[in-house]
Structure 1
């Protein structure tokens, strides 16, 4: 292919970001997936386990493996959900809160560096483009049967 496709640019960039985050996470003896999970859990009220998967765009089996590992490391604890007797809330432990701060610092540093190198207007365009892509996908307007509906 002579031209780079949009999906290739997105995938290659995300893979580079993921590698970078995993390299950084190693210094904290963790992984990007654990850091992302820490950031997805409400630090004050906890988060229902059933809400975490959709919030993170992750399959239940992958998430349950990560949560089990996080529980074993003392990062989280599961508590009954007071508003839903059958549900479970995932809460961060004090250690989990510390590691959450480390994860947040890493993400904020990445954002800082990008903002120093990419003008605000270009970043705004980037976010507009990603928003459009996500909307087209969620509205199922990418692969439609009737070509006359493309707009």
Structure 2
């Protein structure tokens, strides 16, 4: 059954990728979630905390824990949003920018290795399929 289901292939592949990223992140005393968060924060203008969760596809509770941990490690700072007194902007510290670079280089390396092994045509088909699945889910056509 596992060989015949699309969801199994997606889940197994994503779990392998997540495990690989977490193993790599350990070398930098980090996690994949922290790396993903670093990459999701605008390195120049900062990012409103309210837009970070939706941008990353994360629940607010999980994101709050990650941000708290990142703040304690000195990766980010929070500042009031001058355009919205109730909001907060998340900025990367110098240390956060360094760690963001580590994360960015890891993602670039992953992409380069995959692109060396998989033809442009196959990658194009992969992205077409993932886009179609995401559209089916967004349009609520599956269930």
Same fold (TM over 0.5): yes
1-side partners of 2:125 and 2:77: how far apart? 40
1:106-143 Cα deviation digits (max 9, x unpaired)? 00000000000000000000000000000010011111
Measured against aligned partners, the alpha-carbon deviations of 1:4-41 in whole angstroms (never above 9, x if no partner) come to 30000000000000000000000000000000000000
Given the alignment of the two structures, is residue 28 of structure 1 paired with residue 28 of structure 2, yes or no?
yes
Number of corresponding residues: 143
Q: What is the CA RMSD across the aligned residues, in angstroms? A: 0.8
Structure 2: any 5+ residue segments left out of the alignment?
Answer: none
Cα distance in 2, alignment partners of residues 2 and 130 from structure 1: 19
Structure 2 matches for 1:113-132, cutoff 5 A? 113-132=113-132
Change (3 A) 1:2 1:83: closer
Q: Distance in 1 between matches of 2:4 and 2:29?
A: 36
- Unpaired stretches in structure 1, ≥5 consecutive residues: 144-151
TM-score under structure 1 normalisation?
Answer: 0.93
| 2:99 alignment partner in structure 1 | 99
Give TM-score scaled by structure 2 length. 0.98
Q: Work out whether residues 3 and 9 of structure 2, in 8 Å CA contact, stay in contact via their aligned partners in 1.
A: no
Q: Give the CA deviation at 1:2.
A: 6.6
Structure 1: how far apart are the matches of 2:71 and 2:7? 35
The residue that corresponds to 1:16 in the other structure is 16
Name the CA distance, whole Å, in 2 between partners of 1:83 and 1:14: 38
- Higher Cα radius of gyration: 1
